A = this chain, B = another copy of it.
Amino acid sequence: MLKKDCIQIGSFKRGKHNKITDVHGVTVGNVTLNDGEVQTGVTAIKPHQGNIFKEKVIASSHVFNGFGKTTGLIQIDELGTLETPIILTNTLSVGDCYRGLTTYMLHSNPEIGETTGTVNPVVAECNDMSLNNIRKMNIKSDHVIEALYNASADFEEGSVGAGRGMKCFDLKGGVGSSSRIVSYSHGDYTIGILTLTNFGKLSSFVMNGDPIGERLKKSLEILESESEQGSIIMVVATDLPVTQSQLNRIIKRTGVGLSRTGSFLGNGSGDLAIGFSTANKGKGEEEGLNILHSIPEADLDQAFEATVEATEEAILHSMQLAETVTGKGGRTLYNLQEVVDKTE
């Protein structure tokens, strides 16, 4: 299998592990279901290790193409805060993950629904029906809780968790991550990306500027999707001190990285970004006035570029690290490197 570091997008310095978990406090957990026609899972992203409901983080979302079923975005955009981990799964299991995440939050916050109002569970999805019998709705709410307890800074990428059954450019997609360091006079910060990739047709695939997809398609007999029915979820984590509005501007740049891999944001694709910043933790919870630190607007350019790079690289990682999987109806989706090796 291709090693993660054989692909080098752009010029920014990478974080220590080149993963979203390079942002201090962020952890990721996977639960993978791998049993014949059941090829699916759950990926959980925790923004920090404290009580997230009590120490909300600044957050924002952006929908590039809304053919998707995500929950929680409306409240993120109204209040600018995230108060739960983010759960990724397959499309028809959003409801069960909502239940699982709610259960988890109620357990650690006895005041929810008693004295504080409710909680806003954030669940996003892609449709893994190519490999997974999605109609069976195999994800149970306990899988969410398991993924949350599994979460660590050192997590697997590729055909794992929610990425198990995903297809990207007609090859195997899944979970991919990357990170970048931005440096200012006021400090160094990390921007980390985790993508769940499930979009694109082979002929469009561009790897680091090289339109390799066209060549692969010509030399292979891979049946190309008739239409884009995929999706991509791009999660952006950072410790950069930003306002909700600045964060929104940053996460919109994931679309630039996505575009460079060959996506054209197809009609049937649910393409969206969710971001959070851990820098002003606890916003909105203090007595008196909140004190919010934020970078000057002109400093955003560096964060924009770093986000573009890390997104493109995270998408490529999701393919490099995704092992070949055979699932529903005996259909197989191949690892990118395997396909490259066959054709060269």
Contact = CB atoms under 8 A, between A and B. Distances in A.
Interface of A: 63-75, 77-80, 91-92, 94-100, 102-103, 106, 112-114, 117-121, 127, 129, 133-135, 137, 141, 185-186, 206, 209-211, 227-229, 241, 243-245, 249, 252-253, 255-257, 259-260, 263-268, 270, 272, 284-298, 300-301, 304-305, 308
Contact of A292 (B266, B292, B298): B292
Contacts of A65: 78, 249, 252
Contacts of A92: 102, 106, 113, 118-119
A75 B79 contact: no
B285 A296 contact: yes
A66 B94 contact: no
Contact of A209 (B96, B210, B263, B286): B210
Contacts of A260: 259-260
* Across the A-B interface, the 5 shortest Cβ-Cβ residue pairs: A95-B98, A66-B78, A259-B259, A95-B99, A66-B74
B118 A301 contact: no
Contact of A137 (B99, B137, B268): B99
A79 B66 contact: yes
Given A69-B118, A265-B253, A290 B293 contact: yes
Given A99-B137, A206-B209, A243-B244, A185 B74 contact: no
B301 A266 contact: yes
A256 B259 contact: yes
B227 A301 contact: yes
B297 A284 contact: yes
Contacts of A304: 264-267
Given A92-B118, A263-B256, A289 B300 contact: no
